[in-house]
Amino acid sequence: MCRALLPALLILLCYSLPATAIELSVFAASSLTEAMTDVAKHYELQHPDVQIRLNFAGSQTLAMQIEQGAPAELFISASRPVMSRLQERDLVANVQPLLGNRLAVATRSDLQPPLNSLRDLTRPELLLVIGNPQVPIGAYTRKLFTNLTASPAFGSALVTQIKKNIVSEEGRVKAIIAKLLLGEADVGIVYQSDLTNSKLLSIAVPEKLNPRAIYQLAKTTETNHHSEQFYAFLRSSEATEIFRRFGFLPGSEL
């Protein structure tokens, strides 16, 4: 009996030992994966006593988790409606625009012949992958289609042609990138920040027609001194510089 209980007791003991570092739990939209990982690494180097636990997923999924009581101190959402919903339920406070992003049309590098302009998206048999309308990237993509339709240079016939090439609507922007990198899709509509450091080519989207994605930062209602500090760090020039390197627009330019 004793012999059986001993390991169990040891395991219990391990769990009850005080953690050496303070853990900060940060929920962030999945398009921020690389940038936030880098920002967190910088912060941890300066604050060895703090450990940042990052949870990346679609903004809506993260909001659901927060509503269900998941422990998060900070939340960065790529979707404003999602953030407003949490705000209405008093689950978050101090909502601030943190970053901006633009859409980019990405193509796999070995596509022959290469695409030169948005017009080429109408090429028959082109495999186009976009986000589904329920996730931020998909919603912004629809906005781009609306803008193209309204623009005299493009028009609705062209947009109808482009829409015919859609072969899949993904739930995460990273899934669009993956399909391009695998070579299964020819072209995808993603964020500009997804193109830095990747083996994809891009086509220019006219500045005027390109919708601006806005990421909002918020504290959840259970904050402490450490999360306040990280909140401030995210808005500092040091963090902004890192975000800029990953292709995001700083909040001050929004």
Q: Which of 93, 109, 184, 238 binds another protein (CB under 8 A)?
A: 184
Q: Does 129 bind another protein (CB under 8 A)?
A: yes
At closest approach, how far in Å is the CB of 165 from another protein?
11
Of 185 and 209, the one with the shorter C-beta distance to another protein is 185
Q: Does 114 bind another protein (CB under 8 A)?
A: no
Q: Which of 37, 51, 84, 132 binds another protein (CB under 8 A)?
A: 132
At closest approach, how far in Å is the CB of 139 from another protein?
9
Of 127 and 190, the one with the shorter C-beta distance to another protein is 127
Q: Which of 127, 177, 180, 217 binds another protein (CB under 8 A)?
A: 127
Of 51 and 132, the one with the shorter C-beta distance to another protein is 132
Q: Which stretch binds another protein (CB under 8 A): 1-9, 16-24, 28-36, 54-62?
A: 54-62
Residues between 187 and 246 that touch another protein (CB under 8 A): none
Q: Does 61 bind another protein (CB under 8 A)?
A: yes
Token duo for residue 110:
């070995």
Q: Which of 30, 185, 176, 13 is closest to 101 using CA atoms?
A: 30
Q: Which of 183, 199, 206, 252 binds another protein (CB under 8 A)?
A: 183
Q: Which of 167, 184, 170 is closest to 111 using CA atoms?
A: 184
Give residues in contact with another protein (CB under 8 A). Answer: 58, 60-61, 64, 127, 129, 132-135, 166-171, 175, 179, 182-185
